[in-house]
Amino acid sequence: MWIYRVDEPRLGAVRVREWRRRARHAVALLVLLLTAATTGLILLDESKAPFGKRLFTALWDAANLTTTLGDFSEFNERQKLFMLAAMFVTMLVTGFAISSLTGILSGDDVIAYRENRKMEHKFEHLANHVVVVGYRSLGQRIAEKLRGAGETVLVLVADKELADRAAERGHLVILSSPDVFDDALRHARLKDAKALVVTTPDGDANLAVTLMTHSLNRSLRIIAPGENALRKTLLENAGATGVVIGDEILADALMDRLTAHAEATS
């Protein structure tokens, strides 16, 4: 799967534009060579054939020259000398085109540029999805459970290694540095999302993400973990619709096990 990078390298777009400019120049040189070869062959054609036939024959030979097919018609001596020079020029033009175009699109910045364009196209059709913020152990479990339930999952992370891991698992991914994470949320199409689940281990970051998400879509369902009752209150005031305190769940589970064991042995 692809990764959308909020901090897209600017050099990627520059390289793509430069490649397109060079490609246009290369095509222009080939067209100029085709025109010059056709004109030269017509001028050196000593046959008495009609002009239309001579033009077609010259164009055929010039096209074979520029495309290196080699299916030429019969030449007179002057045409052979001209074609020899034209072949040399063709080799120079082809070598220039290859050297100027090869390698310019193979950099990481260009790959990131292409991935972002692909992801932008995917985002245009993204709706009714669940956004998972963070992809450590908790985020991975939630993302897998959501996908198992048939949900479309969009993972937001600030770490490249986690982004690669989520992409390898087949999730849509947005990678952003923490200082511009609000841009990542804006790209997540929160207006069309079903819910957002915050899973990072940083309580302050979870609070900030909840607040930013609620400001972008006040009706979106936001689920977040809380360390204690005070943090739960802060998250709810920030816009969370559901806050889960891990210690309370663990305590309830342990008490259920203890009660079940006591009932079984009584």
Summarize pLDDT for 22-69 with one digit per residue, the tens: 788 888 888 888 888 888 888 888 788 888 888 888 888 887 777 766
pLDDT value, residue 208: 94
Over range 201-205, report the average pLDDT.
Answer: 91
pLDDT in tens, 213-227: 999 999 999 999 988
Three-state SS annotation for 70-135:
CCCCCCCHHHHHHHHHHHHHHHHHHHHHHHHHCCCCCCHHHHHHHHHHHHHHHHCCCCCCEEEECC
| CATH class of residue range 126-260 | alpha beta
Dihedral of CA 60/32/78/44: which sign? positive
At residue 264 the predicted structure's pLDDT band, cuts being 50, 70 and 90, is: confident
In percent, how much of the chain has pLDDT > 90? Answer: 38
At residue 90 the predicted structure's pLDDT band, cuts being 50, 70 and 90, is: confident
At residue 172 the predicted structure's pLDDT band, cuts being 50, 70 and 90, is: very high
pLDDT value, residue 41: 86
pLDDT value, residue 92: 82
Indicate whether 1 pLDDT > 80.
no
pLDDT value, residue 9: 60
- The torsion defined by the Cα of 175, 179, 184 and 185, in degrees rounded to 10, comes to 140
| CATH class of residue range 10-101 | mainly alpha
Is pLDDT larger for residue 46 or for residue 102?
46
For residues 101 and 23, the answer to whether their CB atoms sit within 8 Å is yes
Indicate whether 113 pLDDT > 70.
yes
Is pLDDT larger for residue 251 or for residue 155?
155
pLDDT value, residue 103: 65
For residues 154 and 132, the answer to whether their CB atoms sit within 8 Å is yes
Q: Where are the domains of the chain?
A: 10-101, 126-260
| pLDDT mean across residues, the chain | 85
Over range 190-219, report the average pLDDT.
Answer: 94
pLDDT in tens, 241-255: 999 987 777 777 788
Indicate whether 130 pLDDT > 80.
yes
pLDDT value, residue 31: 86
Indicate whether 149 pLDDT > 70.
yes
Over range 111-135, report the average pLDDT.
Answer: 88
For residues 127 and 189, the answer to whether their CB atoms sit within 8 Å is yes
